[in-house]
Structure 1
Amino acid sequence: METITENKIELNPDLWMIRHKDYLYAMARRKLPEDKVEDIVQDTFLAALNSASGFRGHSSERVWLTSILNHKIMDHYRMAYSKKGKVLHTAIRVSEYPTWHEWENPSNGLNHTDVTDYLSANELHMVLDSGIDQLGTREQQVLRMKIKGYSTEAICQTLDINKVNAWVALSRARKKMKSYLADNW
């Protein structure tokens, strides 16, 4: 790559990984989950390459790259808290908590008052149904009953299984649903 010069400050994209990678990774680790750090740093370098011609030279290369990194981190969290992100969070929440259907339950807190709006979304139901279809028969039965609000005892009686089997099936279903939602949502 060629060196980009503007306002007496030179950008040298060929050396960004050598000069700034460790620093940007350290900054990203402070603000992001570990599984997102590498992707966000790579997005930062790509965005910097795409906007290198707009670099005005008012700061050093590292400060400029750090600024881009911070914008990428904000974009990540904006997406996580957007409507789509909230629906994903809600879908995981539905499969994890036995009292998810008790919306008036004080433990749900004020920030979950809009959960019922997202549950009525057709898109969420389609994704959940397609994910549930990927589960084993016992896992499907247990998860569907739990979503409908059945107690563990009622599930055990209906399916003629003991509590440990119900908990194991529910735990496996939750893990598989999390993975399915992460890959397909």
Structure 2
Amino acid sequence: MARAATTKQPTRIQKEKRRAILAAALDVFSAHGFRGATLDQIADAAGLSKPNLLYYFDSKEAIHQALLTRLLDTWLDPLRQIDPQGDPLRELTGYIRRKLKMSRDYPRESRLFANEILQGAPRMQSEIEGALKALVDEKTEVIRVWIAAGRIAPVDPYHLIFSIWATTQHYADFEVQVQGILGAAPDGHVGDAATFLTRLYTDGLRPR
């Protein structure tokens, strides 16, 4: 009688090596982009030989894809948290604050995502047109309901979300520019940004 095939679980050391490779790759990809990054750079940053790295990931593309897959779920979570039953202004400004917190806490991930988009999203197109689009469509419908009920000013829901992405992710993607103009700050200036953007969007979205 044939025995069912089993999948061998990775050991603790193997899991640690994979985490080390992904952490090193995040640094390299966020600094150099996909095209500029090399397996040698990633191996050096991870403290591994290139053959050892290739034991865990068979290509640069595989490492990059693993990072993007993990990133997308993290990236979508703040948008998922918008509650259709909540107060619209509170929900939207809460989303802004969560996105700014991500810019502060995950600047490398933000730049990784931005680099992928700037290259035409060759490795993320299906996710953008799938999970990301589905969630954005869901939340724009929530915003439309709020508008129809007179709870916020009439705006284009898609461009509202795009504008929130642009104003919040700026503090990660253009961190060097922000610090060059304003100087370094422990929180990356996201506290001041949250105060400014909360007022800007509250004034713009409050029903007239």
- Structure 2 length normalisation: TM-score? 0.27
Larger CA Rg, structure 1 vs 2:
1
Which protein has greater RCO, CA pairs closer than 8 Å, 6+ apart? Answer: 2
